[in-house]
């Protein structure tokens, strides 16, 4: 019943604090299509094992929404459904056997691996240090290597792919800050940076924020009608053979996105983005999605080679 409720909510609402659900599916489908056939077979087994926690009816609902994609493309939805549940508990719920390390992750959930708080302002304003996406990305390959069952492996890849995708949403890498009454406050990675005119004391609706605008690929993938078609389009627009710097280097990826901050914040607060901003922003966003898929594919091939 718990899983059914989670899935029902997932199908009815879009994700607020990372790439939206369709974007995660697209990134994983690009990765799946970018690995070799033998690796695809392994991913099929591991993803199906992770998804076996759900009933036939529940899986049918997900597959009806995201038609034509691999099971591997669906697994990053699991961390989102269980984002408030500790990772140790998620593995206990979804895997056939409880991993020996599960106790170590009883206090850590997906929500504890936060967006980065690098300030794009040179104002000396410092935000508190916290665990980040980079910490989670560092952990999950080790979890995969020590996994004892296909379900555990599938879950490790679910978290690894989800976090890798999140790091490629540019605004998960930086934020604007200012000092208010002696305290450093931020715009919450663009979630409080409003692209529509609101009263000074009004909170920005999440779907009107700069973060949401980039999160949804300039509102082109809020709930893509055909995620498989979208993935196929990006594979053609941004082929792996013409992509650079695909090596596994999360710290470097974060720096790539920080370099985009000036452009991203060039859309004025409290006003709609210009057509020129939308055109360039969409190209950047789509390229980030494709690159995330290629980088994930390379890491997966590497993990298989070391098994």
Count of beta carbons in the 10 Å neighbourhood of residue 280: 14
Handedness of CA 273, 225, 283, 249 (dihedral sign): positive
Q: What is the pTM of this model?
A: 0.91
Look up tokens 């995620």; give the residue.
227
Under the banding of pLDDT at 50, 70 and 90, the label for residue 1 is very low
Under the banding of pLDDT at 50, 70 and 90, the label for residue 27 is very high
Under the banding of pLDDT at 50, 70 and 90, the label for residue 214 is very high
Candidate from 6-10, 154-158, 232-236 with smallest mean pLDDT: 6-10
Q: Which domain holds residue 146?
A: 2-305
Whole-number Å distance between alpha carbons of 213 and 188: 14
- Number of domains within the chain: 1
Whole-number Å distance between alpha carbons of 8 and 15: 13
Under the banding of pLDDT at 50, 70 and 90, the label for residue 128 is confident
Which stretch of DSSP H or E encloses residue 80? helix 77-81
Whole-number Å distance between alpha carbons of 153 and 161: 12
3-state secondary structure of 48: helix
Q: Tell me, what CATH number does 7's domain have?
A: 1.10.575.10
Does residue 34 contact residue 297 with C-beta atoms inside 8 Å?
A: yes
Does residue 218 contact residue 278 with C-beta atoms inside 8 Å?
A: yes
């Amino acid at each position: 019943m718990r899983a059914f409720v989670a899935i029902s909510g997932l199908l009815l609402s879009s994700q607020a604090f990372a790439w939206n659900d369709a974007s995660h599916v697209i990134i994983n489908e690009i990765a799946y299509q970018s690995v070799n056939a033998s690796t695809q077979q392994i991913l099929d087994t591991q993803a199906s094992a992770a998804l076996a926690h759900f009933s036939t009816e529940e899986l049918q609902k997900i597959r009806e929404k995201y038609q034509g994609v691999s099971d591997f493309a669906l697994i990053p939805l699991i961390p989102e459904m269980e984002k408030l549940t500790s990772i140790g508990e998620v593995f206990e719920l979804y895997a056939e056997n409880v991993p020996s390390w599960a106790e170590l992750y009883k206090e850590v959930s997906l929500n504890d691996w936060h967006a980065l708080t690098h300030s794009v302002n040179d104002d000396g304003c410092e935000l508190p240090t916290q665990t980040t996406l980079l910490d989670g990305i560092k952990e999950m390959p080790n979890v995969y290597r020590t996994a004892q069952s296909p379900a555990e492996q599938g879950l490790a890849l679910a978290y690894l792919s989800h976090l890798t995708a999140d790091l490629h949403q540019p605004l998960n890498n930086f934020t604007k800050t200012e000092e208010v009454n002696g305290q450093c406050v931020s715009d919450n990675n663009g979630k409080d940076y409003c692209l529509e005119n609101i009263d000074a004391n009004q909170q920005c609706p999440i779907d009107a924020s700069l973060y949401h605008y980039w999160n949804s690929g300039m509102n082109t993938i809020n709930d893509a009608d055909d995620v498989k078609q979208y993935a196929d389009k990006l594979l053609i627009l941004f082929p792996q053979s013409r992509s650079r710097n695909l090596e596994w280097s999360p710290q470097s990826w974060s720096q790539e996105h920080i370099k985009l901050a000036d452009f991203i914040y060039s859309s004025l607060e409290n006003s709609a983005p210009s057509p020129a901003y939308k055109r360039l922003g969409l190209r950047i966003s789509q390229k980030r999605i494709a690159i995330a898929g290629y980088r994930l594919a390379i890491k997966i091939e590497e993990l298989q080679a070391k098994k």
